[in-house]
Structure 1
Amino acid sequence: MKLYAIESGNFKLDGGAMFGVVPKTIWNKTNPADSNNLIDIAARLLLIEEGNRLTLVDTGMGNKQSEKFFGYYSLWGNDTIEKSLQKHGFHTSDITDVFLTHLHFDHVGGAVQWNKDGSGYETTFKNARYWSNKEHWDWAVNPNAREKASFLKENILPIQESGQLHFIDRKETDYQHLSELGFDVFIANGHTEKQMIPILNYQDKKIAFMADLLPTAGHIPLPYVMGYDTRPLLTIAEKEKFLQMATEQNMYLFLEHDSHNQIITLKKTEKGPRLNEVYKCSDILI
C-alpha cells in the first residue's frame, strides 16, 4: 500500500462557527483569525494505492460553483485535485474508487464537474465507483433546514444518475471493516448522519482520516465542537471514544482541514487527550 496526500485547494471559514461556544481568546491561540475573523482551512484528501486500486478519500469543493459562492469562502493557494494527482503521476481517469466521508459541499464538490460544453454536470472520475452509505445518502438528498445549504444537489445527484454510486454494506455498529475497500471505518453521527472515518493499516501504523470528527488540531479538547455540528453533545461523546482509542493505539491522525498541522499523534493527560507530535505528510506517507 502507498498513500499520497492530495491537496485540493484551501479556503477560509469563520472562526466562531468552527469552534462553537469556545471563546475566541482561546481558539485564536491555535487557529489565528484574520481581520474578518476567518481562519485558514485546508481540503487535504488521501489517495490510497493498493494493487490495481486507487481510492480517493473525499474530493474537496471542486471548481464548478459560481464566483459569488466561492466568494463566501475566500479561496487561497493554487492547489487543485488535478494538479496534485499529476504531481504523483496520476490522472482523474486512473481513480478506481472515490470514498466520501459525507456529502457536505467541501467534501463532495470535486466529485462532479461541468461537462465540456457547460450545459450540464458529469462525474469527475469517470472510471470510479463512488462510495457512500444509504442512511447518509438519504439524509443528504432530503436535507433538513440546518444542513440544506451544505448538501447541494449538483454535487450529489449526478453521482447517482451516472450509475457509479455504491453503498457500503453497513453493519449496525459504529466500527466495522469494509471488505469492499479493504479498510475500517468509524461511524459518527454528531456532525451529520453517518459520517464515515476511514482507518487504514499502513506499514506498522494505523492512520485515521479525520474528516469533520476532528477538523484541526485545535479541536482536540472535547468541548471544542464546531457550530456546524447537528448534534454537538453527540460529537463530544464520539470524540471522546475515538480519541481515547487513537491515543491507546498510537494512531496517526490525518487532518483534512488543518492547513498547518497535517498529521498528528495524541498523548494521554489528566485533562484528556492532547497533542503529542506533529508531522508533515512526507514524514509518514513514504
Structure 2
Amino acid sequence: MIIHTLDTGPFKLDGGAMFGVVPKTLWQRTNPADDRNLCDWALRNLLIETTDASGKPRLVLVDTGVGDKQDAKFFGFYDLPNGKTLVQAVEQAGYALSEVTDVLLTHLHFDHAGGAVRWADTGRTRLEPTFPRATYWSHSGQWQWAMQPNPRERATYLQENIMPLHESGQLRFSDQSELGIPGIELLYVDGHTEKMLMPRLKTAGKTLLFCADLIPSTSHVPVPYVMGYDVRPLLTMDEKTTFLERAVDEDWLLVFDHDPYCEAATVERTEKGIRVKDKGRLADWL
C-alpha cells in the first residue's frame, strides 16, 4: 500500500466556529486569526494505491475537498479559489481521473464532498461525477441525514455536490467495516454528524487513522477542543476520548484533514491528558 497526501487548501474558517466554547485567548496561540476572525485550514485528502482481496489494483481517494464549481460569492466566504484543484493533485500524483476506483466520502459536508462532482461542460450546464469509473462510498445513515438536513447542517449539505452521484449510479453505501480491500477498515462516529466515516489503514507495520472531523487538527487533540459545527458535542468528546486512548495504547498514527501545519502525529498520555507527541509529514513515518 502506497499513500499520498493531496493538498487542495488552504481555505479559511471562523476560529470561534472551529473551536466551539474554547476561548480565543487559548486557540489563537496555535491558530492565529486574521482581522475577520478567520483562520487558515488545510483541505487534505488521501490517495491510496493498493490491491483488493483478489489482487486487483485499487486506487482509493479519501475525501474530495471543496471542489471548484461554486460561484464567487460562495468562495468568497472561505478565501477560495486558491489556485489548487483536486484534479491537478491527482494528476500530479501520476494518475488519470479514470484510474480512481473508489472514493471514500467521510461525510457529505461541502468541504469533504464538493470535489466529488464537477461541471461536465464549459457552459456549466451539467454536472457529473469527477471520477468517471469510481464507486463513491458513503454510509446510508449519513446519506439520509444529508437528504433531510437539520437546521444546523442545512447550509453545508449542498445538493449539487451529492445528487449527481446518486443519479449516476456510482454511489454505494458502506454500512459495514469492510470494503473487501485488505488494510482498509471503516470506523464510524456520530458526534460531528451522523455516521461519519473514518478509514483506518494498516501498512508497513503502521496503523493510521484518518481522523476526518473528529480531530481535524493537532490543535483539536485536547478533548474539550470541539468544533462549534458538531451536532452532538458531548458525544464528540466521548468519541475522541475512546479513539485517543486506542491511539496511545495501539500506537496509531493520526492523519488530519484540516491541520494547516502538519499532516500527521502520534499522541501520548501526559499530566494534562492525551497530547501530541511527534508530528510532521505523513511520509516521515512511511
**Are residues 1:110 and 2:115 paired?**
yes
Residue among 87, 93, 108 paired with 1:82: 87
Aligned twin of 1:35: 35
Partner AA of 1:233 in structure 2: L
Residue among 62, 74, 88 paired with 1:57: 62
Report the Cα distance in structure 1 between the residues aligned to 2:40 and 2:86, rounded to whole angstroms.
19
Partner AA of 1:152 in structure 2: L
Q: Say which SS state the counterpart of residue 26 (structure 2) adopts.
A: helix
Q: Cα deviations across residues 49-107 of structure 1 (Å, max 9, x unaligned)?
A: 01310000000000000100000001264322122112221121110000000000000
Cα deviation, residue 183, structure 1: 1.2
Partner AA of 1:68 in structure 2: K
Q: Is the 8 A contact 1:9 1:76 kept in 2?
A: no
Report the Cα distance in structure 2 between the residues aligned to 1:215 and 1:157, rounded to whole angstroms.
26
Cα deviation, residue 182, structure 1: 4.8
Aligned twin of 1:135: 141
Q: Is the 8 A contact 2:9 2:41 kept in 1?
A: no
Aligned twin of 2:22: 22
Q: Is the 8 A contact 1:168 1:180 kept in 2?
A: no
Q: Is the 8 A contact 1:190 1:238 kept in 2?
A: yes
Residue among 102, 107, 131 paired with 1:125: 131
For residues 1-286 of structure 1, the aligned pairs below 5 Å read 1-51=1-51, 52-75=57-80, 77-116=82-121, 117-170=123-176, 176-179=177-180, 182-285=183-286
Partner AA of 1:29 in structure 2: R
How high is the TM-score relative to the length of structure 1? 0.95
Q: Is the 8 A contact 1:9 1:78 kept in 2?
A: no
Partner AA of 1:150 in structure 2: T
Over 3 Å counting, the alpha-carbon distance change for 1:69 and 1:124 in structure 2 is same
Report the Cα distance in structure 2 between the residues aligned to 1:85 and 1:144, rounded to whole angstroms.
33
Report the Cα distance in structure 2 between the residues aligned to 1:261 and 1:38, rounded to whole angstroms.
19
Q: Is the 8 A contact 1:10 1:76 kept in 2?
A: no
Over 3 Å counting, the alpha-carbon distance change for 1:113 and 1:185 in structure 2 is same
Report the Cα distance in structure 1 between the residues aligned to 2:270 and 2:178, rounded to whole angstroms.
30
Over 3 Å counting, the alpha-carbon distance change for 1:165 and 1:104 in structure 2 is same
Report the Cα distance in structure 1 between the residues aligned to 2:90 and 2:19, rounded to whole angstroms.
32
Report the Cα distance in structure 1 between the residues aligned to 2:173 and 2:181, rounded to whole angstroms.
10
Identity of aligned residues (%): 50
Q: Say which SS state the counterpart of residue 106 (structure 1) adopts.
A: helix
How high is the TM-score relative to the length of structure 2? 0.95
Report the Cα distance in structure 2 between the residues aligned to 1:251 and 1:77, rounded to whole angstroms.
32
Partner AA of 2:47 in structure 1: L
Report the Cα distance in structure 2 between the residues aligned to 1:178 and 1:269, rounded to whole angstroms.
36
Unmatched tracts of structure 1, length 5 or more? 171-175
Q: Say which SS state the counterpart of residue 89 (structure 2) adopts.
A: helix
Partner AA of 1:200 in structure 2: L
Partner AA of 1:105 in structure 2: F
Q: Cα deviations across residues 157-213 of structure 1 (Å, max 9, x unaligned)?
A: 11000000111143xxxxx44436751122110000000111000111001111100
Over 3 Å counting, the alpha-carbon distance change for 1:218 and 1:258 in structure 2 is same
How many equivalent residue pairs?
A: 280
Partner AA of 1:253 in structure 2: L
Cα deviation, residue 282, structure 1: 2.9
Cα deviation, residue 130, structure 1: 0.3
Q: Say which SS state the counterpart of residue 150 (structure 2) adopts.
A: coil
Report the Cα distance in structure 2 between the residues aligned to 1:9 and 1:60, rounded to whole angstroms.
8
Structure 1 segments of 4+ aligned residues over 2 angstroms from their partners: 75-79, 176-182
Over 3 Å counting, the alpha-carbon distance change for 1:202 and 1:181 in structure 2 is closer
Over 3 Å counting, the alpha-carbon distance change for 1:206 and 1:180 in structure 2 is closer
